Amino acid sequence: VAEFITVQTLNGLVYSMLLFVFALGLSTTFGLLRFVNLAHGSFLLLGAYVGMSTLRATNSYALAALAGAGIAGGIGLVLERLFFRKFYRRIDLDQVILSYGLALVFLDIAKMIWGKDIQSLPTPHWLSGGVEIASVTFPIYRLVLIGLGCALFAATWLTVERTRIGALIRASVDDRDMVGGIGFDVRGLFALVFAAGAMLAGLGGVLAGPITSVYPGLDFEILITTLIVVVIGGLGSISGVFWASLLIGITDTFGRALFPDSASFLIFGLMALVLLVRSWGVPEEEIE
């Protein structure tokens, strides 16, 4: 029993960290730009595929991660310029349909280039061993992922809370018109934040590859869980997203292990519950 709990907790932590890396971008676009981006999963999928191809060509993980993150960030920037910026002021429904359309397009493009089969991204050989924790051997790679996730949390939290650009981001989450009105380049800031979020998603794809494998459909699968994280975490709050990632990551991992039949029931129920508790007693049109 102790072993079971240790292993599941560690796996849950790994899953949480991957969710966090991926959710950061989604949450900031949602909090800062008020944009619901269902195409965020495409960044992850493209990042994973590009990383995979780079790895096969160069045999270098550093290059793979760089290429995956770079391409995803680049595509994010282009999409922001071409489509998304025109939709910041439109209603949620329009944003959902636009980004859903884009996600369908990218999914099929990925299928055309990389095929429809499940492909594996090997673990880096220098991280392929295991470590013994409480009488359980656990892969080093996964431990490194947990560390990376925590480091990323610290870095983004410091950026948002302690730097000038972070202050601008927080101010824009509160009132973007005011920030623009006093002379800051809000559009540039939005593009930057959007591209950074896409880049992180692409990086997340490369990091997740050795664990989840890479296949068409991975994008929507992770996107849906991440939407739950973002909704529970609240608008554009870094620590909110972090704790929500932990909650969902661990709940889902234990749920799958203990009640394989009703795991998704659990996390969706959790989201509905959080939404309802948060809004109980407030007229629905006043909920932010």
Partner 1 sequence: MTLSATTNERHREPVENRIDLILGLVIAAGLGLAPLVGVSDFQLSLLLEVMIFAILAMSLNLILGYAGLVSFGHAAFFALGSYAAGVAANKLSPEIWVSLPIGVAIATLIAIPVGWLSIRLSGFYFLMITFAFAQMIYAVVYRWNSVTGGSDGLLIHGPTLLHESVLQSRQALYFFTLACFCLSFLAIQRIITSPFGRVLVGIRENTRRMRALGFNVRNYKLLAFTLAAAFAGLAGFINAQFTLFIAPESAHWTQSGTVLVMVLIGGTRSMVGSIIGAAIVLLLQHWLSSYTEYWSLALGVLFIGLIMWAREGIYGLAARAVVLLRKRAL
Binding site for partner 1 (CB under 8 A): 36, 83, 86, 91-94, 96-98, 100-105, 107-109, 111-112, 224, 227-228, 231, 261-262, 264-265, 268-269, 271-272, 275-276, 279-280, 283-285, 287
> At closest approach, how far in Å is the CB of 89 from partner 1?
13
> At closest approach, how far in Å is the CB of 145 from partner 1?
27
**Taking a C-beta distance cutoff of 8 angstroms, is the pair 279, 287 a contact?**
yes
Q: Which of 201, 206, 198, 205 is nearest to 64 (CA)?
A: 206
DSSP 133: E
> At closest approach, how far in Å is the CB of 264 from partner 1?
5
Number of Cβ within 10 Å of residue 218's Cβ equals 22
> At closest approach, how far in Å is the CB of 107 from partner 1?
7
> At closest approach, how far in Å is the CB of 154 from partner 1?
29
112 vs 182, which CB is nearer to partner 1?
112
Q: Which amino acid is at 153?
A: F
54 vs 95, which CB is nearer to partner 1?
95
Give CA torsion, residues 103, 82, 230, 261, to 10 deg: 0
Residue corresponding to tokens 């609240």:
234
Beta bridge partners of 119: 214
**Taking a C-beta distance cutoff of 8 angstroms, is the pair 27, 20 a contact?**
no
Alpha helical stretches, state H, 40-185: 40-58, 61-82, 92-114, 140-162, 164-174, 176-181
133 vs 275, which CB is nearer to partner 1?
275
> At closest approach, how far in Å is the CB of 228 from partner 1?
8
106 vs 141, which CB is nearer to partner 1?
106
13 vs 252, which CB is nearer to partner 1?
252
The distance between the two most distant Cα atoms of the chain, rounded to a whole number of Å, is 59
> At closest approach, how far in Å is the CB of 59 from partner 1?
31
1 vs 276, which CB is nearer to partner 1?
276
Q: Which of 204, 218, 201, 59 is nearest to 124 (CA)?
A: 59
**Taking a C-beta distance cutoff of 8 angstroms, is the pair 214, 49 a contact?**
yes
113 vs 118, which CB is nearer to partner 1?
113
